[in-house]
Amino acid sequence: MRKYVIMGVQGSGKGTQSELLCDDLDLVHISVGDIFRWHVQNHTKLGAQVRRTMNAGELVGDDLVESVVRERLDQHDWNFGFVIDGFPRNGRQAEFFMESYDIDGVIHLELPEDEVRRRVLSRRLCPNCGMDYNLIADRPKEDGRCDICGHQLITREDDTPEALDARLRDYNEKTRPVLELFRRKEFVHDIDARPPAEEVQAKIRAALNLPAYQAHA
């Protein structure tokens, strides 16, 4: 069983790399951000609370994040392991996680802040079917329209310059120290996130001594 944490600033490709890592290794991708977005899109009570927090450009509180992560991991649908994305974001969450689960490796995707801004501010979302687009590398066929359902694309509420500034501050102040906490265990792998996705994936697998990526037909 393999259990990995993937970390990096917004826009560093955590979701993409997690999916590639899980694709042929039978690992489960657990994205805290995706769980919260599902609640927002489905107008649950938790979603309303998350929406208010995101609109303020803040991160969701520790107690709520920990309970969501614990509930998700308690489903035990990860027979061969998991890749968790978006957690932990601070020291308290890291301590909780390390006390509860044995981690086999931490992948840290490094990306300069100017590239973070370029990537994040180019993201678009279909509010109808949830499809993600990026105007740099993954444009829709028709400008502003989802390829899948034809709905008008929007900018995520947490992808404004102001919200991004707040998240970068929060990441530098709270999440970077988590990396140092993990480094004391000597299993952090720093990966340059600037190259194309498959090249980044190859470097991740080499660092973790995993088989080369085999795309499913």
Cβ atoms 144, 153 nearer than 8 A: yes
- Cα distance from N-terminal residue to C-terminal residue, the chain: 25
Tell me if residue 72 is catalytic.
Answer: no
Cβ atoms 188, 108 nearer than 8 A: yes
Tell me if residue 123 is catalytic.
Answer: yes
How far apart CA 203 and CA 90 sit, in angstroms, is 26
Q: Which helix (H) or strand (E) holds 109?
A: strand 105-110
Place of tokens 């992560």: 69
Nearest to 4 by CA among 30, 32, 35, 36: 30
Name the catalytic one among 51, 119, 124, 167. Answer: 167
- Three-state helix/strand/coil letters over 34-64: HHHHHHHHCCCHHHHHHHHHHHCCCCCCHHH
Residues paired with 124 in a beta bridge: 133
- Report DSSP state, residue 126: -
Q: Which amino acid is at 54?
A: M
Name the catalytic one among 2, 156, 174, 203. Answer: 156
Tell me if residue 89 is catalytic.
Answer: yes
Name the catalytic one among 37, 51, 123, 124. Answer: 123
- The residues, any chain, with a CB within 8 Å of residue 72's CB and separated by 6 or more, are 30, 35
Tell me if residue 183 is catalytic.
Answer: no
Name the catalytic one among 14, 37, 51, 72. Answer: 14
Tell me if residue 37 is catalytic.
Answer: no
Which residues form the catalytic set?
A: 14, 89, 123, 156, 167
